[in-house]
Amino acid sequence: MKLEGKVAIITGAGGGIGRAIALRFATEGCGVVIAGPTKEKVDRVTAEIQAAGGRAKGSVTDVADESSVKQMVDGTLEQFGRIDILINNAGVAGPTKLIHQLDRSEWDRTMAINVTGAFLCAKHVLPHLMDQRSGRIINITSIAGLRAYAFRSPYCASKWAMIGLTRTLAEEAGRYDITVNAIAPGPVYGPRIESVIRNRAVEMNLSYEEMEQQYVEPTALKRMVDEEDIASTTLFLCSSEGRNITGETITVSAGYRLS
């Protein structure tokens, strides 16, 4: 029980990586707040954890809306009385277009959720971590935050920005014994990467299979990673075993080649 008695807010926890982290944390004794914009998904994951005997609270939250974020944090304290961990996992894939084809609204929405959302959550959680002089923040970025990514400029820029935010938060929060790290997944099996591959294949005039190979071929292990791989790394960083790791970006990518 590596997180016995701890409480974690996990954004984007209604499915995918966020759900995998929430399930894993709950099995390790952690109370989890399942935050996401869709009530049906939030309720489903919350019920799944509670049915297995875990502690969970659902929170319908728009991370790009500061009042919604504040309500999520206040609700966590009301339910659990403390916050120990923040997982900034909420994110959108954004459009698949060349930069001159983008609408301003597409750029703004991607940035609002992927970057501003992480900032707002950290802004409202950090005072509580500072008061107790301990805590963990994990920002889920992407391998796209470490390389160029044609046709995906808003997503790519937002994930680079999350790494800069991570390093700065680590510097600011370290004196309070708060660690802040980023995890950069490579392509992760699931509906999101399938959608990304389909859209990119259309833009590049390739078949789905040809496009999929372009995501697998650069990896040393010749495969994508699983959601549970990200959850395991997140657990390590949030446990006592990761107490002296901060300001880092850890790739979980099956050895994705960056150049």
Residue pair 219/255 in contact by the 8 Å Cβ criterion:
yes
Provide the residue type at 142 as one letter: S
Tokens of 75: 């609700």
Strand 135-140 to 85-88 pairing: parallel
Angle (CA) 259 186 207, round 5°: 85
- Could you tell me how many residues make up the chain? 259
Element (H, E) at 61: none
Can 189 be counted among the known catalytic residues? Answer: no
As a whole number of angstroms, the distance between CA 144 and CA 74 comes to 33
Give SS3 for 251: strand
Distance CA 199, CA 95 (A): 9
**Number of helices followed by number of strands (H, E) in the chain:** 9, 7
The amino acid that residue 124 corresponds to is: H
DSSP one-letter string for 186-250: -SBSSHHHHHHHHHHHHHHT--HHHHHHHHHTTBTTSSPBPHHHHHHHHHHHHSGGGTT--S-EE
Annotated catalytic sites, by residue? 155
